[in-house]
A = this chain, B = another copy of it.
Amino acid sequence: MIDSQLGIPQFVAEQLVRMALLEDLGAGDVTTDACVLPEAAGVARAQARTDLVVSGLELAQAAFRLVDPSVQIEVMHQNGERVRAGEDLFVARGRARGLLQAERVALNFLQRACGVATMTRLYVDARAPGSQTRITDTRKTTPGLRAVERAAVRAGGGHNHRNDLSSAVLIKDNHIVAAGGIRPAIERARALAPHTSRIECEVDDLAGLREAIEAGAEIVLLDNMNDETVAEAVFLNQGRVLLEASGGITLERVFALSTLGVYAISVGALTHSVYAADIGLDFDLPASPVDA
């Protein structure tokens, strides 16, 4: 059973995997059907080929199970765990055909999710020791896979930002222009938004920050500011609002930003530019000669 804090609900995982299986296997697998006897058994071992953080296990498992419900999966490392190159993530045992037919879909999910989690862990670990600054995702996620990638961010030690356009307020530059200024934008948002949502406002400079604080923002997103300006923003803020640094964040800047005391650093690259984790499936298959 997956820890739901580090994964996605099972019925969501199955729906996503079913969609991916249709894409890859919906019309069958002529190679496997030709080369592997129907009842041949096999073992597939998912092995990390680089150091990584695990995420997406529930999707990989669902892939094997939906192709062949009789497959047995033994998990060595759960979502959120750090794994060294060479270690096994899980072992799947069952009919060889099913293992081969589900392989690519299982890996496509797993490698992407582990990629996000591992990248997130890099950013999280780049913070100064003891820092409580959060590393968060953004809405720059892969269409259709937002739940997967948000879970991967959590598995990597990061935090989620708002899930979608309805779940919190984030006033951006265009909203400010349209509303006629920072204050009217924040006031209108406060008047309309669910009381369960904090009001976040994006600003470009310290004047904006000052205005946003005075207008009642609870979070201010410091957009594309360099470290010096962020430092000034923290000083100016005096702890009144939560500060979120965003835009132009690189791994190199995380240490400095985390020492400055921003509450959160949001990083689009965690999900929009994912490097797939290197994971291999090693098979142990019996030969099934024609005469067998």
Given A142-B108, A165-B101, A286-B178, CB of A26 within 8 Å of CB of B4: no
The CA-CA distance from A10 to B25 in the complex, in Å, is 11
CB pair A170 B196 closer than 8 Å? yes
- 9-residue interface stretch from A122-130, A206-214, A227-235, A270-278: A270-278
Q: Is A48 an interface residue (CB 8 A)?
A: no
Q: Using Cβ atoms and an 8 Å threshold, which residues of chain B touch A140? A: 104, 107-108, 111, 276
CB pair B194 A160 closer than 8 Å? yes
Q: Is A57 an interface residue (CB 8 A)?
A: no
Measured CB to CB, the closest approach of chain B to A207, in angstroms, equals 18
CB pair B101 A147 closer than 8 Å? no
CB pair B143 A35 closer than 8 Å? no
The CA-CA distance from A146 to B33 in the complex, in Å, is 18
CB pair A194 B285 closer than 8 Å? no
Q: Is A159 an interface residue (CB 8 A)?
A: yes
CB pair A34 B164 closer than 8 Å? no
Q: Is A249 an interface residue (CB 8 A)?
A: no
Measured CB to CB, the closest approach of chain B to A136, in angstroms, equals 7
Count of identical protomers in the assembly? 6
Q: Using Cβ atoms and an 8 Å threshold, which residues of chain B touch A142? A: 108, 112, 142, 145
Q: Is A204 an interface residue (CB 8 A)?
A: no
Q: Is A82 an interface residue (CB 8 A)?
A: no
Measured CB to CB, the closest approach of chain B to A93, in angstroms, equals 15
Nearest to A40 among chain B residues (CB) is: B178
Q: Is A226 an interface residue (CB 8 A)?
A: no
- Contact among B3, B24, B111, B112 for A164, CB-based, below 8 A: B24
Nearest to A288 among chain B residues (CB) is: B178
Nearest to A33 among chain B residues (CB) is: B5
Q: Is A168 an interface residue (CB 8 A)?
A: yes
**Per-position 1/0 for A112-155, Cβ under 8 A of B:** 10010000000000000000001010011111111100110000
